[in-house]
Amino acid sequence: MLYTSESMEKTVDMFASLPTIGRKTAQRLTFFLLRQDESYIDKFSESLQELKSNVKFCSNCYNYTETDPCPICASKKRNTSIICVVEEPNDVNAIEKTGEYFSQYHVLHGSLNPLDGIGPGDLKIAELIQRLDGVEEIILALNPSVEGEVTMQYLVKMIRPLDIKITRIARGLPIGSDLEFADEATISRAIEGRIEI
Amino acid sequence: MKISELIINNIRNHSHTELSVDSGLNIIYGLNGTGKTSVLESIAIAAFTKSFLPVSDASVINYEKEFYSVVVKAVSDLGIPYWVKVLYNKGLKKEISTTAGDKLLPKAIIGDMPVVILSPDYKSITFGKPEDRRQFVDRILSQASKLYIDDLIKYRKVLKQRNKLLKEAKLSGRYDFKDIDPWTNLLIDKGASVVERRASFIKEFAPKFRDEYEIVAGGKEVADINYVPDGIEEENLTDNISKDEIIEIFRKNYQELKDKEIRRGSTLFGPQKDDYKISLDKGAAKENASQGQHKSLLISIKFAEFKFLKEKRNETPIILLDDVFAELDRERTAKVFELIRNNAAQTFITVTEPEGLKKVLDSTDDYSFFSADAGTIEAVEL
């Protein structure tokens, strides 16, 4: 045993099981918790428990929510004829932060990835197809990875026959960085995706 | 590019080695197992983020240590300082930083510090398996073009994913084109990009290789290198074959092979099966060349690599020669030194015994000797 306490060992193991957390960081977090007073620990464990019992999927867009439908789907101010399809709930937050998008979302919860055993049935694709009544445009905002690319192709094939406008978000240069600092791959994709003005 | 400082932590038997380099020619000598080659490996890690030997990252780490790191400080031909740090913690992602920033991906730094390596292991380029030749070309192209690395990485990923699907379909006996088609489309698209880039690379590289061979072998015979892409007939491989033409050929190949792919449960076409034919007087070098000719071919191909990279990156590559002089006769050794001198290329050489090399050096050479012993490297006057 590495530690003098089994509880510490268990906590370190739990932290280390989280994504992006290595063993060293897990240790640091554990020591940090040990130094805190009781009330902090209570709050911490309480919030973890509530997280799982209170948060569920929105039955419309499959984003995480405490109310069903979620505040975005329930909002009267939002345009329901446009749906932006994203891979993860995080992506919704990223787009919401812009404050420039006033329509709806659909969260797939991943992308097609045979190596990880994720097929179309494991994503919220059927759920997306079911809510397309009255929808005029689908914006595909998936990641530029090969998995995102393939998922996009798959969705296009499913949606195309339904006579709905399909768009994808542009790929290219990040705003705020100069052309000369972008790498060749990014610049080349940006040229590929050029638009007429 | 010239390296001015090298700091190695926990690579093989080096626990901590700091090397200041101020010469063009750096000769590291010592018995086997003293840590000579690990110095070259460390430079390779700084250039490619991995060793040039076919080993895992974990196996490079010093026994019983948890990480390795390499720091290289260098100066470009134009005098601009460059540094790179590669840190690998067992089981974690490599942390790569350079003058350009932190948390970089390998593909972001490959090619920043161009390196050409000659090692006895590379004999297989001229008479080994197609895989050895693909690796050789991929290594050059990856240093020359970030777009190539990007396409290649994506292609490999799609190939893996598609093979998994085909294998599953074979096992379950259920084959759904709707699921596999998007992977096939992307495979063909990315595969065609890779083939297009390889074809245009060979078009540029072959004349260089022919010229170098003529110099190295004295014009006794003519060497050549050709691209032999999988599933593309020679007559279709025109000099300016376009991506769209390749896509069309791949689509046809796919149609012909798709039933077989289902039966076998794996992808049966594409650049993962490419080869390059190295020939002497039109005959395949693999079968026909003598031992000596193989050595000349290998040196010429490496010289051509040097010139290609120098031209593409506008930067003189660093040359690593791992224990090669034992295998080369006096004439070929002289040719190697000619290349180094003519280009003022910084070179790192490992030898077991320094005496032989001392004879090749002349007073105008800017050289240093280093002795290696049990994982320590020391500059010595010889």
CA distance A112 to chain B (A): 9
What pLDDT sits at residue B245? 96
Q: Does pLDDT of A126 surpass 70?
A: yes
Q: Does pLDDT of B189 surpass 70?
A: yes
Question: What mean pLDDT is predicted for residues B115-141?
Answer: 93
Structure tokens at B16: 């901590």
Question: What mean pLDDT is predicted for residues B16-20?
Answer: 95
Residue A176 lies inside a defined structural domain of this protein: yes
Q: Which residues of A touch B89 (CB under 8 A)?
A: 22
For residue B184, how many C-alpha atoms fall within 13 Å in the half-sphere facing its CB? Answer: 21
Portions of chain B given CATH number 1.20.1050.90: 127-313
Q: CB–CB of B149/B109 below 8 Å? A: no
Q: How confident is the model at residue A175 (pLDDT cuts 50, 70, 90)?
A: confident
Q: CB–CB of A97/A152 below 8 Å? A: no
* Nearest alpha-carbon partner for B198 in B274, B307, B146: B274
Q: Which of B89, B161, B182 faces A115 most closely, judged by CB atoms? A: B161
Q: Report the SS3 class of residue A137.
A: strand
Question: What mean pLDDT is predicted for residues A69-85?
Answer: 96
- Whether B185 and chain A come into contact, CB under 8 Å, resolves to yes
Distance of CA A83 to the CA centre of its chain: 15
Query: A184 and B190: CB-CB below 8 Å?
Result: no
For residue B154, how many C-alpha atoms fall within 13 Å in the half-sphere facing its CB? Answer: 25
Which CATH number fits the domain that encloses residue A15?
Answer: 1.10.8.420
Reply yes or no on domain B127-313 having CATH 1.20.1050.90.
Answer: yes
What pLDDT sits at residue A2? 63
Q: Which of A115, A151, A184 faces B160 most closely, judged by CB atoms? A: A115
Task: Give the number of domains in chain A.
Answer: 2
With a pLDDT cut of 70, the percent of chain A lying above it is 98
Tell me, yes or no, whether A75 and A151 share the same domain: yes
Chain A interface, best mutation among B90, B146, B160, by max A CB count within 10 A: B146
Tell me, yes or no, whether A64 and A36 share the same domain: no
CA angle A40, A43, A48 (to 5 degrees): 130
Query: B154 and A114: CB-CB below 8 Å?
Result: no
Instruction: Note which residues in 106-135 of chain B have CB less than 8 A from chain A.
Output: 107-108
Residue range B1-114+315-382, CATH number: 3.40.50.300
Q: Which of B150, B161, B182 faces A185 most closely, judged by CB atoms? A: B150
DSSP code of residue A118? B
Nearest CA in chain A to B184: A150
Q: Does pLDDT of A160 surpass 60?
A: yes
Query: A147 and B185: CB-CB below 8 Å?
Result: no
Question: What mean pLDDT is predicted for residues B230-247?
Answer: 90
Q: Which of B92, B145, B183 faces A150 most closely, judged by CB atoms? A: B183
Residue listed under structure tokens 């690319």: A149
**Choice among A127-131, A137-141, B221-225, B284-288 with the minimum mean pLDDT:** B284-288
What pLDDT sits at residue B212? 94
Residue A29, domain extent: 6-54
Tell me, yes or no, whether A88 and A17 share the same domain: no
Q: Which of B108, B168, B182 faces A183 most closely, judged by CB atoms? A: B108
d(CA B137, CA B112) in angstroms, rounded, equals 17
Q: Does pLDDT of B196 surpass 90?
A: yes
Nearest CA in chain A to B109: A183
- Whether A52 and chain B come into contact, CB under 8 Å, resolves to no
Q: How confident is the model at residue B237 (pLDDT cuts 50, 70, 90)?
A: confident
Tell me, yes or no, whether A65 and A50 share the same domain: no
Q: Taking chain A, what is the end-to-end CA distance rounded to the nearest angstrom?
A: 66
Residue A129 lies inside a defined structural domain of this protein: yes
Tell me, yes or no, whether A32 and A68 share the same domain: no
Tell me, yes or no, whether A40 and A80 share the same domain: no
Query: A146 and B147: CB-CB below 8 Å?
Result: no
pTM listed for this prediction: 0.87
Q: Does pLDDT of A183 surpass 90?
A: no
Tell me, yes or no, whether A37 and A77 share the same domain: no
Q: Which residues of B touch A183 (CB under 8 A)?
A: 108, 146
> HEC profile for chain B?
CEEEEEEEEEECCEEEEEEECCCCEEEEECCCCCCHHHHHHHHHHHHHCCCCCCCCHHHHECCCCCEEEEEEEEECCCCCEEEEEEEEECCCCCEEEECCECCCCHHHHCCCCCEEEECHHHHHHHHCCHHHHHHHHHHHHHHHCHHHHHHHHHHHHHHHHHHHHHHHHHHHCCCCHHHHHHHHHHHHHHHHHHHHHHHHHHHHHHHHHHHHHHHHHCCCCCEEEEEECCCCCHHHCCCCCCHHHHHHHHHHHHHHHHHHHHHHCCCCCCHHHCEEEEEECCEEHHHHCCHHHHHHHHHHHHHHHHHHHHHHHCCCCEEEEECCCCCCCHHHHHHHHHHHHHHCCCEEEEECCCHHHHHHCCCCCCEEEEEEECCEEEEECC
Instruction: Note which residues in 137-166 of chain B have CB less than 8 A from chain A.
Output: 145-147, 150, 154, 157-158, 160-162, 164-165
Question: What mean pLDDT is predicted for residues A15-40?
Answer: 93
Query: B161 and A146: CB-CB below 8 Å?
Result: yes
Residue A1 lies inside a defined structural domain of this protein: no
Q: How confident is the model at residue B234 (pLDDT cuts 50, 70, 90)?
A: confident
What pLDDT sits at residue B18? 95
**Residue range B216-231, pLDDT digits in tens:** 888 889 999 999 999 9
Tell me, yes or no, whether A24 and A78 share the same domain: no
Residue A23 lies inside a defined structural domain of this protein: yes
Nearest CA in chain A to B108: A183
Question: What mean pLDDT is predicted for residues B4-31?
Answer: 95
Tell me, yes or no, whether A50 and A64 share the same domain: no
Q: Does pLDDT of A1 surpass 60?
A: no
Question: What mean pLDDT is predicted for residues A26-50?
Answer: 94
Mean pLDDT (chain A, rounded)? 92
Q: Which residues of B touch A123 (CB under 8 A)?
A: none
* Nearest alpha-carbon partner for B247 in B165, B162, B308, B188: B188
Mean pLDDT (chain B, rounded)? 93
Which CATH number fits the domain that encloses residue A160?
Answer: 3.40.1360.10
**Choice among A94-98, A184-188, B92-96, B161-165 with the minimum mean pLDDT:** A184-188
What pLDDT sits at residue A102? 95
Tell me, yes or no, whether A18 and A67 share the same domain: no
Nearest CA in chain B to A115: B161
**Residue range B323-374, pLDDT digits in tens:** 998 888 888 888 899 989 999 999 999 999 998 888 888 888 899 999 999 8
Question: What mean pLDDT is predicted for residues B244-249?
Answer: 96
Nearest CA in chain A to B105: A183
Tell me, yes or no, whether A46 and A79 share the same domain: no
Tell me, yes or no, whether A50 and A17 share the same domain: yes
Query: A150 and B186: CB-CB below 8 Å?
Result: yes
Q: CB–CB of B226/B276 below 8 Å? A: yes
